[in-house]
Chains A and B, each alone.
Chain A
Amino acid sequence: MNVNTIIEALVWIISFLLLFLFVPKHKIRDAWISFLFMQLPSWILGLAAVQFRLISYPSRFFAHAVQTSFTFEFLAFPVISVLFNIYYPTQMRLVWRLLYALAFPSVIVTIEILILRYTDLIEYIHWNGYLSWISLLLTLFLSYGFYKWFLHREM
């Protein structure tokens, strides 16, 4: 096994650990809503990014079936969205909510850039970290909006 496979496998383990550790039992439905919804934009945008040669994933699971990152789009990013939605500080002041929201894409992009530099799991073609940051932020808010809509009839 090479380093790419090990890291991708670690992402699976960490994602499940995050779910088990940070999703309380009474929030399991909230988690499902966020997880299932986030797969939709994550997957379609992921496909588009590969189709239009913006990003490529030289080393990946299910390499014959998909040219996209199944691990990130199917599991890791939806899990991040679950945490984002469950812990969103609705009661706090705007500045804290803003910091909370900006922290998520910042941490993810930092990890992505490390993975970009040290592994073959991702490769930017016509892409950069800023675009990642913005698209992560927008999709996280999209998923949060859906989650809010789902739980309350009026937002």
Chain B
Amino acid sequence: MNFSQNVTWITITSIIVVILLILIVPKNRIREAWINFLFFQTLTWGTGVILAQYHLLKSPFRIFPKATTQDFFNDFTIFPAVSVIYYFLYPFQQKWYIQLFFILGSSVIIGIYDFSVEKFTDLKRYIHWSVIHQFILSILFNLGSLWFTVWFFKKSKNDTQVRS
């Protein structure tokens, strides 16, 4: 795998995600997007450090190679952005099995993306890791971020009112 292929992957993925964000996030709900994005970053940063520390994953091609062994690009920009998209598309009003289908379906898509990253680029190598782990983690993180964002903007009498 050479340099230009990795860079092409990064460029194309970024463009697609930015376009999706612009299309999906309503302008007047940008605060919800921020909270979701930042919270997801905290989750991936914390767990990513542990995963890299115990050699579960590695990232041969990465930004800041002397400072971190984590996959900066996917963990800190793409997956948090995808979590924002997830939050805005989530079928809150629908029946439980439609919600379940959404949760499983989106994590399958994320899993396929992650697997392709592993296969076609040097951004990520699974060591003691598999696409199943990734699938479970992405369900937990996306739902975690979703719940956090919902809690954050829940109207409450005593708490600071944060207008969305």
Contact = CB atoms under 8 A, between A and B. Distances in A.
Q: Do A and B bind each other?
A: yes
Interface of A: 25-30, 32-33, 36-37, 39-40, 43, 46-51, 53, 62-68, 70, 74, 150-151, 153
Contact of A65 (B31, B34, B70, B163): B70
Give the secondary structure class of B's interface. Answer: helix
21 contacts: A26-B159, A26-B160, A32-B35, A32-B152, A33-B162, A39-B45, A40-B38, A47-B63, A47-B72, A49-B67, A64-B52, A64-B55, A65-B70, A66-B67, A66-B68, A66-B69, A66-B70, A67-B67, A150-B34, A150-B162, A151-B162
- The interface size bin for chain B is 20 to 34
A65 B50 contact: yes
B138 interface: no
Given A48-B64, A48-B67, A70-B49, 8 more contacts: A26-B160, A51-B64, A51-B65, A62-B49, A64-B69, A65-B51, A66-B67, A68-B68
Nearest to B148: A32
Contact of B159 (A29, A37, A40, A67): A29
Interface of B: 31, 34-35, 38-39, 41-42, 45-46, 48-53, 55, 63-70, 72, 152, 158-160, 162-163
Contacts of B51: 65
Contacts of B55: 64
Contacts of A51: 64-67
